[in-house]
Amino acid sequence: MYAIVRTGGKQYQVANGDQVRVEKLEGNVGDSVDLNDVLMIVDGEEVKIGRPVLDNAKVTAIIAEQGKGKKVIVFKKKRRKGYRLKKGHRQSFTALKIEQISV
């Protein structure tokens, strides 16, 4: 059994026991989070598709980690002008451990 959920403007395929890195969500490590934007649930041969989301369906997860990703370097340069710009960015993320998919 797996589900397609939407969070942070992205869609993720999740199943029980999976760990997924999503865009930053509020909460502390160990807190429970309900993902209510469930787009599809597949249980063997039975497929339920929402229009656009399924009513009364939710995915329960526990926050496993709050952190930042690897640093991405942004470097801009204009030749012969002496313009150089170097910036770094680390995207925040939340790691979720999927506990239950319910319809």
pLDDT score recorded for residue 28: 97
pLDDT per residue of the chain (103 residues) written in tens, 0 to 9 = 999 999 999 999 999 999 999 999 999 999 999 999 999 999 999 999 999 999 999 999 999 999 999 999 999 999 999 999 999 999 999 999 999 999 8
Contacts 24+ apart (CB under 8 A), 4-13: 4/38, 4/39, 4/40, 4/41, 5/35, 5/37, 5/38, 5/39, 5/59, 6/37, 6/39, 6/53, 7/35, 7/37, 11/39
pLDDT score recorded for residue 47: 96
pTM of the full structure: 0.86
